[in-house]
Amino acid sequence: MEQQITIRQIAKLAEVSRSTVSRVLNNHPSVRPEVRQRVLEVIKEQDYVPQAAARSLASRRTNVLTLLIPRSSAFIFTDPFFSLTIQSITEACTARDYSLMLSMATGAEERSFYQRVLRSRITDGVLMLSSDIDDPILPLLINDDMPLVLIGSHPYLQPMYSVDVANRDGAAVAVEHLLRLGHSRIATITGPLQMNTAIDRRDGYKQALLKAGVGIDPQLIGEGDFTQEGGYSAMRTLLDVQPPPTAVFAASDMMALGALRAIYDAGLRVPDDIALVGFDDIPIASFATPELTTVRQPIQRLGATAATMLLDHLEGNPPAIHHQQLKPELIIRKSCGAF
């Protein structure tokens, strides 16, 4: 590896001072156009790229964001939802000249991880994927004044930047759709109830039933964990309830796929015997058999919005709205029996 080119050499070649080169690099206005031009030419010619570490040390900014995945959300790694979120965040960062760091807070090392990655000033801000309500890392971040945007929402840590899908409404719309189709024994498979997302979707389910004057049968509420396996076993339990449900709202597509499988294994058919609606609209949803009716999350916008909020905040334009709600959309396919 040849000797790294430094700002000094650029300065010398362009016959200006280091300060001026630095100003050019940082788009400082007070550089005469012809000088700026000359410096830029030398930079290009020499293929010069300023060294990140030196820059950060002097400027106290790193141009790096961190996507933090709490260990409690480790299941997310099997969920396509995740990939798409990452993709949109990466793109938003790249577009604004930031890099994205990925971190998992894994179990016991949480604390030391936190230290190493976040206190070392390696990152300018954190995007945190929705997590357990009582995740211990959240207070640490807030206490440290770490710029933070939550993807998801939190019940009582209110004045915090966050982006979320209107989970309650989305769930309600799904259940209303099932009601409209004539169902009254509607079950739900929830996510893990220490997660706010899971609670909201369950509440949307309840809300829709109550509004329609349909009572809530606790037996028809099964708890899953957002995975296929969870959906499968929750569904098996629900199938044993008497009288059995005629429709199921699963709080995620992955769980819906698991439920689908359980229903199939029990010798029943979707939607003929049981109608099924999911949540997320992950790519496989439209390729399942039958195609899955589901509540579409604007996944890409979710990530992009969160990143944008954080970047705006970091660059001195604090977003006026602290909590952004994106609207989900009911996508009607075959599994609900509407056709």
Partner DNA sequence: GTTCCATTTGGAACCGCTCCCATGAATACT
Partner DNA sequence: AGTATTCATGGGAGCGGTTCCAAATGGAAC
Residues near a second copy (CB under 8 A): 1, 4, 47, 49-57, 62, 64, 67, 74, 76-80, 82-84, 86-87, 90-91, 94, 97, 99-104, 106, 109, 113, 115-117, 119-122, 144-145, 228, 232, 257-258, 260-261, 264, 283-284, 287, 289
CA-CA distance, 201 to 206, in Å (whole number)? 9
| Amino acid (1-letter code) at residue 30 | S
- Complex with DNA: residue 33 or 243, whichever CB lies closer: 33
Among 23, 168, 177, 202, binds DNA (CB under 7 A): 23
CA torsion 264→269→273→279, rounded to 10°? 70
| Amino acid (1-letter code) at residue 155 | P
Q: Is 26 in the site for DNA (CB under 7 A)?
A: yes
Quick one: which of 52, 43, 1 has its CA closest to 21? Answer: 43
Per the DSSP assignment, residues forming a β-bridge with 331 are: 294
Stretch touching DNA by CB under 7 A, among 18-26, 97-105, 165-173, 275-283: 18-26
Q: Which of DNA, a second copy, none does 314 bind, CB closer than 5 to 8 A by kind?
A: none
- Complex with a second copy: residue 86 or 212, whichever CB lies closer: 86
- Complex with a second copy: residue 52 or 216, whichever CB lies closer: 52
- Complex with a second copy: residue 57 or 210, whichever CB lies closer: 57
Q: Which of a second copy, DNA, none does 82 bind, CB closer than 5 to 8 A by kind?
A: a second copy
CA-CA distance, 13 to 29, in Å (whole number)? 21
- Complex with a second copy: residue 59 or 317, whichever CB lies closer: 59
| Cβ neighbours around 16 below 10 Å, total | 19
Q: What is the DSSP letter of 322?
A: S
Helix ranges (H only) for 212-287 are 228-239, 253-265
Residue 229, CB-side half-sphere exposure with 13 Å CA sphere: 2
Contacts of 317-323 with C-beta under 8 Å, sequence gap 24+, read 319/161, 322/158, 322/159, 322/160, 322/161, 322/162, 323/153, 323/160, 323/161, 323/162, 323/163, 323/164
What residues numbered 145-184 form the site for DNA, per CB under 7 A? none
| Cβ neighbours around 98 below 10 Å, total | 22
CB 86, min distance to a second copy, A: 7
CB 25, min distance to DNA, A: 5
CB 216, min distance to a second copy, A: 29
Q: Is 29 in the site for DNA (CB under 7 A)?
A: yes
What residues numbered 43-82 form the site for DNA, per CB under 7 A? 50-51, 54-55, 57-59
Per the DSSP assignment, residues forming a β-bridge with 217 are: none
- Complex with DNA: residue 62 or 227, whichever CB lies closer: 62
CB 125, min distance to a second copy, A: 12
CB 143, min distance to a second copy, A: 10
Q: Which residue do the tokens 């440290």 mark?
A: 144
* Distances from the Cα of 33 to the Cα of 28, 37, 187, 306, angstroms: 11, 6, 68, 37
CB 141, min distance to a second copy, A: 12
Q: Is 106 in the site for DNA (CB under 7 A)?
A: no
Quick one: which of 163, 116, 174, 164 has its CA closest to 140? Answer: 116
Stretch touching DNA by CB under 7 A, among 23-31, 92-100, 166-174, 315-323: 23-31
CB 26, min distance to DNA, A: 5
Q: Is 20 in the site for DNA (CB under 7 A)?
A: yes
Catalog residues that contact DNA under the rule CB under 7 A: 4-8, 15-23, 25-26, 29-32, 35, 50-51, 54-55, 57-59
